[in-house]
Amino acid sequence: MHDPTLSRNTPDTTTPPALEVSGLTVEFPGRRGTLTAISDVSLQIAPGEVLGVVGESGAGKSMTGLAVLGLLEPPGRLAAGRIHIAGQRVDTLSDAEMNKVRGRKVGAIFQDPLTSLNPLFTVGTQLSETIRLHLGLSRGAARERSIALLREVGIPAPEERVDHYPHQFSGGMRQRVVIALALAAEPKLIIADEPTTALDVSIQAQITALLRRLCDDHGAGVMLVTHDMGVIAETADRVAVMYAGRVVEIGRVEDVLRRPQHPYTRGLMGSIPALGKRVARLTQIDGSMPRLNAIPRGCAFNPRCAQAFDRCRHERPDLIAAGDGQAACWLHQQGDMA
């Protein structure tokens, strides 16, 4: 694993953020009441920046990405908050208007590349359709751009492979095609939801390196959703740790990984084996992520936290300054974090 403190491109702060989310809340109304899946989440991604979003299954990572893309499944709904992509507010757009934004301003890379591609059409046809729809190029020019994109993402012999079907590609090559598809219309933002989970370790490294390079080359902001801290260390500039639908810590990758400020983040880091170190037992976070209909009062993590005290059980903390980042933890007002 590379040292996460190695220098990366400085994000562009002279143009509008690739993504700005303020007070995002997602609810699922039902017969027995309304469940809150995402609660008051605020994030910002600069052009050329990779923000990693990490946490256990059920933390709300993918749900946040789907909300940004406008792809919430009914009865899910945006109950509060604002979403701006490259300076344009999108949470108030109709489905037809959002269809024009997806692809053009925001691209998506999902976990399973096979289900992201239509098996009935060649990859060239799928790339060309997106390019012609959003960029208005001729059929010939769209085909040439499709070949160029396949070459850029590392597909060998792209002039031939452009006419192949998805089943004729390996899993790693299909994910490269999906990345090319996400970049086809030159979006300002890419939502990458577990893009390496279905791939073996060596291919994972290639895909994360490719995603980082393309982000730098194209100046697109990337929201990288993953449960893998190794992927975060390799790829991201900043990281947001989510728990029970809220951001509990956010900061630069090197700060969060080396000096985590929230007990939950410390537990996640402590559960990862360290190369070159022998320990009798890895850290274990007791319990599990709470169900949406049973989120504890106060800090949602308090039943699993060995450092919880009375205030944690009654008041929900907001993000406050902690170390070089921010953490939603009352211990920082107590001065008890080592």
What residue ranges do the domains of the chain occupy?
Answer: 117-186, 262-334
Is residue 162 classed exposed, middle or buried when 0-12, 13-18 and 19+ CB atoms within 10 A define those classes? buried
Ranges of H-type helices in 219-308: 229-235, 253-258, 263-270
Ranges of H-type helices in the chain: 61-69, 95-101, 113-116, 123-135, 139-152, 158-161, 171-183, 201-218, 229-235, 253-258, 263-270, 331-334
Mean pLDDT by 10 residues, the chain (338 residues): 47 81 97 95 97 96 97 96 98 95 94 88 97 96 97 96 96 94 95 88 87 91 92 94 98 96 94 75 88 96 96 96 96 70
- Between CA 41 and CA 109 the distance in angstroms is 22
The tokens for 96 are 């037809």
Per-residue pLDDT at 278: 75
The tokens for 39 are 């609660």
Q: Give me the residues paired with residue 246 across strands.
A: 243
The helix/strand/coil state of 118 is coil
Question: If you count them, how many residues does the chain have?
Answer: 338
Per-residue pLDDT at 334: 67
